[in-house]
Chains A and B, each alone.
Chain A
Amino acid sequence: MAEVRFGKAVNMALDDALAADPTVILFGEDVAEAGGPFGVTRGLLEKYGDRRVRDTPISEAAIVGAAVGAAMSGLKPIVEIMFMDFVAIAMDAMVNQAAKARFMFGGQCSVPMVLRTPHGGGVNAGPQHSQCLEAWFAHIPGLKVVVPSNPSDANRLLRAAIADPDPIVFVENKAMYSLKGEFDESSEPIEIGKAYVARAGNDVTIVSYGAAVNTALQAADKLASRNISVEVVDLRSIQPWDEEAVLASLSRTHRLVVLHEAVTAFGVGAEIVARMSDIGFDELDAPIKRVGAPFMPTPFAKSLESQYLPNAEDVIAAVEQVLA
């Protein structure tokens, strides 16, 4: 099995989709000539031409609005929003148009589009280039939200996302673009909405998604040396999310920690905790703990950002609390 960087794994999925289906098109700011701000779309313009791989002006509302209209008219557009923070300008197209078209038009059409966008801190990009806003989209009926945690999943989930008939927000953690991981090119797409157990364990379950899964695995490694056996569940997709898989893990470990990089308050973790305290109440031997960013904007300075981002030590502290 070859080692592939996260960004390259995304590129390979885009390449495959453009090769396989002439209705797939790709557009966004600097995705064509420049190959993308993080190099993720490099080489695709040369391979597929400027009809299907297009640079757009810096016009997020029109980019995403046009993707919705194109998806309603026979194409499968993949658009990139350079930083997840910028989706704020394109929310109408996602929330009022893409999410609702199928429902409010009585099932006459679907909106087969993918909005790719990088979230996350760790690169000192400051308050407007670091946010994890996936909970906004997970709250909207009609949208799907997928957040891969490693190169192989990024490729396999993106292929599934492009093939999916509904609008999908595909979130890539920008700090992971250069991360290497094993990737088998013959692997199948991963079904959206299914979690997987990234590490099996008995004493406590950590549920996470995206880059934070790796933080959970680091914490699990450290805890293993203290004979604490941690199970890590990678959601892969947060809308829909695999509550059966989380409940199954909770039923084995009876203790639960939910981890994400996004701000804890009103986040994805809040939904998971609420559901598990309902359907999993009898399984719980301790209150559920959430680990995430504090309720403040992502700060710029290295020292501030490193305190802001949840790390393995924060996860270990939460695990200790649920085991106490």
Chain B
Amino acid sequence: MSPAKSDNSVPKSRLLEFYEQMLLVREAENRLSKLFADGEVPGFIHLSVGQEAVCVGVTSALKREDTLASNHRGHGHALSKGVELNSFFLEIMGKEEGICGGRGGSMHVADMSVGMLGANGIVGAGIPLAVGSALAHQVRENGAIAAAFFGDGALAEGVLHESFNLAALWKLPILFVCENNGWSEFSPTDRQFGANVRELAGVFGIPSDYVDGDDVLDVHDAASDLVTAIRAGEGPRVLECVTHRVRGHFEGDSQKYRAEDEMNSLSNHDPIAKLESVISKRRIPKKEVAAIREKIDAKINAAVEAGRAGNAPDFDRAQADVYTAVRGV
């Protein structure tokens, strides 16, 4: 991996904005990890620590009205697309006031008001949803595009291949984002998939790009170029972001299947550290960076407190939402 570029053309405000967003995702997940260990978050959580440059780099190239379908490692996608932090924590802590009423939890965070069509508990299943969403944008001619986030673990899912084909045939406005962290759950992806995502895209005539997914500036630039082409009606694009999964497949996974060397090298790829080095080279005062850290800490503390203060979901209300209440025909 090349070191992060210290491109002076990126405005300072942009650097700090990226920094703040990545830090929000990182610290939110660090806190979730602790809450999970302490028994305050039930179920399963899958953290994207180490992959923050992908969600922030891509969503910063999208607009609010663009839609996004995510996967089970989707906290970063949700937060960077604009899901409100308190309702995010309330959801993952299983509370009535959560964005999904405490019915979905970590694997199903969704917020239609910001175009976040949901994390997903089924590997690859969000991809055709994003294709359908792109179809809706195309038919409605609303100028919006869809994005599908998936890991390299989804590459062997048949529905991904079907989705590439359909999106290419119909020239749909969709950005496929592959977060390639090298691991398909507990197995190295080179033992799971016999091709690579860019070759696969090429087979369907879908242009693609490949970036260091730990460099938010590179991710943003590549995503922006692809999004421009998509908005111009040129059809789907694929962006492969090579990144690193620091935590296990889920919290509690001790990762005994990963080599010590690999684990020790992870800190060299940390996207937040990379951006910090850019910020430092630009001689941005340390107190500005510290102020961002304090701001994020305060927001997360407040969100955790909100989560703790939330109410247990009401069973009758949940049951009443299986179908839409309709009057007459």
Instruction: Give the residue of B129, B137, B166, B318 whose beta carbon is less than 8 angstroms from that of A97.
Output: B129
Contacts of B133 in A (CB 8 A): 69-70, 72-73
Q: Flag if A61 contacts B159 (CB, 8 Å).
A: yes
Q: Flag if A108 contacts B110 (CB, 8 Å).
A: yes
Taking the complex as formed, is A36 at the interface, i.e. its CB lies under 8 A from any CB of chain B? no
Q: Flag if A71 contacts B132 (CB, 8 Å).
A: yes
Q: Flag if A142 contacts B166 (CB, 8 Å).
A: no
Taking the complex as formed, is B122 at the interface, i.e. its CB lies under 8 A from any CB of chain A? yes
Q: Flag if B118 contacts A101 (CB, 8 Å).
A: yes
Q: How far is the CA of A111 from the CA of B15 in the complex (A)?
A: 39
- Residue of A59, A69, A107 ringed by the most chain B CB atoms within 10 A: A69
Q: Flag if B101 contacts A106 (CB, 8 Å).
A: yes
Q: Flag if A72 contacts B129 (CB, 8 Å).
A: yes
Q: Flag if B67 contacts A73 (CB, 8 Å).
A: yes
Write out, one digit per residue, whether chain A residues 45-80 have a CB within 8 A of any chain B CB (1) or not (0). Answer: 000000110101101011111111111111101000
Measured CB to CB, the nearest residue on chain A to B105 is A104
Q: Flag if A72 contacts B132 (CB, 8 Å).
A: yes
Residues of chain A from 173 to 194 with CB closer than 8 A to chain B in the complex: 188-192
Q: Flag if B323 contacts A66 (CB, 8 Å).
A: no
Taking the complex as formed, is B50 at the interface, i.e. its CB lies under 8 A from any CB of chain A? no
Q: B: which residues have CB within 8 A of A?
A: 67, 69, 98-104, 108, 110-113, 117-118, 120-122, 125, 127-140, 146, 158-159, 162-163, 165-166, 169-170, 318, 321-324, 326, 328-329
Measured CB to CB, the nearest residue on chain B to A189 is B329
- Residue of B163, B321, B328 ringed by the most chain A CB atoms within 10 A: B321
For the complex with contacts A51-B138, A65-B128, A106-B100, 13 further pairs of A-B residues with Cβ separation under 8 Å are A61-B162, A66-B131, A66-B163, A70-B132, A70-B136, A72-B112, A73-B136, A75-B135, A75-B139, A102-B321, A104-B104, A106-B101, A164-B326
Taking the complex as formed, is A163 at the interface, i.e. its CB lies under 8 A from any CB of chain B? yes
Q: Flag if A144 contacts B323 (CB, 8 Å).
A: yes
Q: How far is the CA of A139 from the CA of B76 in the complex (A)?
A: 34
Q: How far is the CA of A117 from the CA of B100 in the complex (A)?
A: 32
Contacts of A72 in B (CB 8 A): 112, 117, 129, 132-133
Contacts of A103 in B (CB 8 A): 103, 318, 321-322
Taking the complex as formed, is A280 at the interface, i.e. its CB lies under 8 A from any CB of chain B? no
Chain B's nearest CB lies how many Å from the CB of A194?
A: 10
Q: Do A160 and B322 contact each other (CB < 8 Å), given the known contacts A51-B139, A96-B122?
A: no
Q: Do A65 and B122 contact each other (CB < 8 Å), given the known contacts A104-B100, A107-B101?
A: no
Number of interface residues of A (CB under 8 A): 51
Residues of chain A from 227 to 268 with CB closer than 8 A to chain B in the complex: none
Q: How far is the CA of A74 from the CA of B131 in the complex (A)?
A: 13
Contacts of B146 in A (CB 8 A): 69, 73
Instruction: Give the residue of A69, A163, A191 whose beta carbon is less than 8 angstroms from that of B131.
Output: A69
Chain A's nearest CB lies how many Å from the CB of B3?
A: 38
Instruction: Give the residue of B67, B104, B162, B318 whose beta carbon is less than 8 angstroms from that of A57.
Output: B162
Q: A: which residues have CB within 8 A of B?
A: 23, 25, 51-52, 54, 56-57, 59, 61-75, 77, 92-93, 96-97, 101-110, 141-142, 144, 160, 163-166, 188-192
Contacts of B120 in A (CB 8 A): 97
Q: Flag if A105 contacts B166 (CB, 8 Å).
A: no
Instruction: Give the residue of B103, B117, B165 whose beta carbon is less than 8 angstroms from that of A104.
Output: B103
Contacts of B329 in A (CB 8 A): 160, 163, 188-192
The 3 A-B residue pairs with the shortest CB-CB distance in the complex, in nearest-first order: A69-B132, A65-B128, A106-B101
Chain A's nearest CB lies how many Å from the CB of B313?
A: 9
Q: Flag if A75 contacts B140 (CB, 8 Å).
A: yes
Q: Do A106 and B104 contact each other (CB < 8 Å), given the known contacts A59-B165, A59-B166, A66-B166?
A: yes
Chain B's nearest CB lies how many Å from the CB of A74?
A: 5
Contacts of A75 in B (CB 8 A): 135-136, 139-140
Contacts of B69 in A (CB 8 A): 69
Q: How far is the CA of A62 from the CA of B134 in the complex (A)?
A: 13
Q: How far is the CA of A295 from the CA of B142 in the complex (A)?
A: 51
Q: How far is the CA of A232 from the CA of B177 in the complex (A)?
A: 55
